[in-house]
Structures are given as structure tokens and as C-alpha cells.
């Protein structure tokens, strides 16, 4: 993944800068797709990322940290939360 590609993903997610991290906008998460020597890895529910040299640090909503080489990333998707909320009970 190039820096332009990553920047486009962060812009689409409405990311802002906070203490060195790019934090995704409200109700947004990102899925990053990586591959290395034929093995694929999906990193889902990412809420903030930070690039340090050749490494990308991806933090999930539950505080899980994944560190991966930027060159192994090939795609990303930005997800938004559903705006419809089901009320409890019968209607």
C-alpha cells in the first residue's frame, strides 16, 4: 500500500489526528487487507492507525493492537455504523 492509498482511506473515514494516531470519525471502522507469501490476513474493526517508519500500528475498538508492514497491505475498506436501531419489544 502506498502512502497515497492510506491517506485516501483515512480521508474517506473522516480521520483526525490525536497524539500521533489517525483516529477514524464517529461510528466508523476500517478493515485492512494484507498478504505475505500467499497468506492473507484481514484486520477488522480498526478505529485508529499510526505509521512508524515501515510499520503500521492498527488499534481496534477493543484495544487490540496489530503491527504490520505497510508494504504487506494491499487494500482497505471503511465501514459506517448502521443508522437504524431496533427498539426492544413489540410494535
CATH code assigned at 44: 2.30.30
Average pLDDT of span 7-28:
92
State the total domains in the chain: 1
| Rounded-to-integer distance, Cα 48 and Cα 52, Å | 13
- For residue 13, pLDDT over 60 is answered with yes
Quick: pLDDT tens for 43-70.
999 999 999 999 999 999 889 999 999 9
Cell of 4: 497515497
Q: For all residues of the chain together, what is the average pLDDT?
A: 90
| Rounded-to-integer distance, Cα 20 and Cα 9, Å | 17
pLDDT score of 85: 55
Contact 62, 41 (CB under 8 A): no
| Rounded-to-integer distance, Cα 31 and Cα 45, Å | 6
**21 in a structural domain:** yes
**89 in a structural domain:** no
pLDDT score of 65: 97
**41 in a structural domain:** yes
Cell of 27: 461510528
**24 in a structural domain:** yes
Q: Which domain holds residue 21?
A: 3-80
Amino acid at each position: 500500500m502506498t502512502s497515497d492509498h492510506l491517506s485516501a482511506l483515512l480521508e474517506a473515514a473522516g480521520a483526525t489526528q490525536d497524539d500521533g494516531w489517525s483516529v477514524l470519525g464517529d461510528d466508523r471502522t476500517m478493515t485492512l487487507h494484507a498478504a505475505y507469501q500467499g497468506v492473507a490476513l484481514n484486520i477488522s474493526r480498526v478505529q485508529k492507525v499510526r505509521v512508524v517508519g515501515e510499520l503500521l500500528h492498527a488499534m481496534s475498538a477493543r484495544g487490540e493492537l496489530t503491527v504490520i508492514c505497510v508494504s504487506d497491505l494491499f487494500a482497505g475498506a471503511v465501514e459506517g455504523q448502521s443508522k437504524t436501531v431496533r427498539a426492544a419489544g413489540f410494535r
